[in-house]
């Protein structure tokens, strides 16, 4: 196995699975993950992080239908906001 097993999500194919950090706050344009199947694209080092390894699997979307500048965990941010509001305002 390569010492740089990660790949850019943009370089994958539609439907390819990638393992990334749950707390990743970037967009698809610069997201790097570990591919679950045959990797496509240039070898990349695994991004460094802080804290425990809390990972999730995402699928590469079809960028003809989803903006490449959209946040990877868009729904997770909305869920965190909902939890915050429920604790502070209700």
Tens place of pLDDT per residue across the chain (90 aa): 557 789 999 999 998 989 888 888 889 998 999 998 888 888 888 777 666 678 888 889 999 998 888 888 775 545 455 556 666 665
> By C-alpha distance, which of 61, 50, 62 is closest to 23?
50
14 in a domain, yes or no? yes
Question: What distance in Å separates the CA atoms of residue 6 and residue 33, rounded to the nearest whole number?
Answer: 5
> Structurally, how many domains does the chain consist of?
1
60 in a domain, yes or no? yes
Question: What distance in Å separates the CA atoms of residue 85 and residue 90, rounded to the nearest whole number?
Answer: 7
32 in a domain, yes or no? yes
Question: What distance in Å separates the CA atoms of residue 22 and residue 85, rounded to the nearest whole number?
Answer: 21
1 in a domain, yes or no? no
Give yes or no for a contact between 36 and 17, defined as CB atoms under 8 angstroms apart: yes
- Domain limits at 44? 7-89
pLDDT of res. 8: 92
2 in a domain, yes or no? no
């Amino acid at each position: 196995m390569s010492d740089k097993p990660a790949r850019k999500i943009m370089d994958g194919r539609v439907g390819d699975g990638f393992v990334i950090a749950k707390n990743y706050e970037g967009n698809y344009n610069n997201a790097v993950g570990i591919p679950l199947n045959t990797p496509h694209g240039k070898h990349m080092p695994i991004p460094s992080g802080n804290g425990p390894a809390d990972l999730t699997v995402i699928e590469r979307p079809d960028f003809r239908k989803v903006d490449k500048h959209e946040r990877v965990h868009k729904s997770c941010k909305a869920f965190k906001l909902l939890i915050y509001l429920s604790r502070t305002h209700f």
